[in-house]
């Protein structure tokens, strides 16, 4: 089945630790996105990539980093510089930029700081 | 800056009723509007995408309308079922920001059996 796979589903981070969330898609989509969702808030964009080896910061990129070495993969690293990382993280993709195309989401990853 | 508001924030209705969820946006210069469903602890599932040139889209018991000039969209759910219980979000693409998308906070819908 075509889709977006995020892993792990649940992740615990200790203070000062970097963690990486995986996002893989087999939809042959060019554009990929990372969003953060906090309770009672809308989704906020962390990073966006339109093509391989290119990505742009979103509204809340501080404390996060990404790479796009392959079309199907867009991992997100939550660094120790992110002071409030506990949230639900959603990866998404679309054929091209979302101006014309449906955007599809993965099942999400929960990150908790312990 | 585009702002998207969804009213009500929560809604509880008996099974079988027809219902309307509302989404309003401040900047009418949009490319499209998309409705999503989110189950607890899950990702978003796309329901309907309306391009700026369209007035409505239908899928099964769902009908979404778009009035760009007034900055409004509605999602109509016919003959509601307990399985429709979820949070419904709308997102507007208006070109601002890296991805151009602005999401509402959602309407939490409960259908009582």
Looking at the predicted structure, is the pLDDT value of residue A16 above 80? yes
> Does A22 reach chain B within 8 Å, measured CB to CB?
no
How confident is the model over A4-12, as a mean pLDDT? 95
Tell me the per-residue pLDDT of A52-84, one tens digit each, with 9 for 90 and over: 999 999 989 999 999 999 999 999 999 988 888
| B42 → closest Cβ in A41, A97, A108 | A108
Looking at the predicted structure, is the pLDDT value of residue A87 above 90? yes
**CA A19 from chain center: how many Å?**
12
CA distance linking residue B99 with residue A93, whole number of Å:
11
Per-residue confidence (pLDDT) for residue A71, from 0 to 100: 96
Coil, helix or strand at residue B69:
coil
Q: Residue B32 and residue A100: Cβ atoms within 8 Å?
A: yes
CA distance linking residue A72 with residue A28, whole number of Å:
7
Looking at the predicted structure, is the pLDDT value of residue A99 above 70? no
Q: Residue A110 and residue B41: Cβ atoms within 8 Å?
A: yes
| B99 → closest Cβ in A58, A88, A106 | A58
CB-count burial class (<10 Å; 0-12, 13-18, 19+) for A98 = buried
> Does A59 reach chain B within 8 Å, measured CB to CB?
yes
Chain B residue closest in CA terms to A91: B43
Q: In angstroms, how far is the first alpha carbon of chain A from the final one?
A: 35
Q: What is the mean pLDDT of chain B?
A: 94
Using CA of residue B99, residue A59, residue B33, residue B105, what is the dihedral sign? positive
Report percent pLDDT > 90 for chain B. 87
Tell me the per-residue pLDDT of A17-41, one tens digit each, with 9 for 90 and over: 999 999 999 999 999 999 999 987 8
Per-residue confidence (pLDDT) for residue A98, from 0 to 100: 58
CA distance linking residue B44 with residue B4, whole number of Å:
17
Tell me the per-residue pLDDT of B22-59, one tens digit each, with 9 for 90 and over: 999 999 999 999 999 999 999 999 999 999 999 999 99
Contact residues, chain B, for A92 at CB < 8 Å: 44
User: Is A78 in contact with A61 (CB distance < 8 Å)?
Assistant: no
In Å, how far is B106's CA from the nearest CA of chain A? Answer: 7
């Amino acid at each position: 089945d075509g889709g977006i796979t995020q892993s792990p589903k649940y992740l615990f981070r200790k203070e000062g630790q970097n963690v990486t969330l995986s996002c893989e898609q087999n939809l042959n989509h060019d554009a990929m996105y990372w969003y953060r969702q906090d309770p009672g808030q809308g989704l906020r964009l962390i990073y966006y990539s339109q093509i391989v080896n290119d990505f742009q910061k979103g509204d809340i990129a501080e404390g996060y980093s990404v790479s796009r070495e392959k079309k199907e993969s867009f991992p997100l690293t939550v660094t120790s510089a992110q002071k409030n990382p506990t949230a639900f993280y959603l990866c998404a993709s679309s054929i091209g930029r979302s101006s014309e195309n449906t955007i599809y989401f993965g099942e999400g990853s929960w990150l908790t700081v312990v | 800056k585009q702002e998207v508001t969804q009213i009500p924030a929560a809604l509880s209705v008996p099974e079988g009723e027809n219902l309307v969820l509302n989404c309003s946006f401040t900047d009418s210069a949009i490319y499209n509007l998309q409705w999503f469903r989110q189950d607890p602890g899950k990702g978003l599932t796309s329901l309907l995408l309306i391009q700026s040139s369209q007035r409505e889209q239908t899928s099964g018991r769902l009908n979404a309308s778009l009035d760009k000039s007034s900055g409004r969209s509605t999602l109509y759910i016919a003959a509601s079922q307990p399985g429709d219980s979820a949070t419904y979000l709308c997102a507007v693409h208006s070109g601002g920001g890296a991805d151009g998308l602005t999401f509402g906070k959602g309407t939490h819908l409960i259908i009582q059996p």
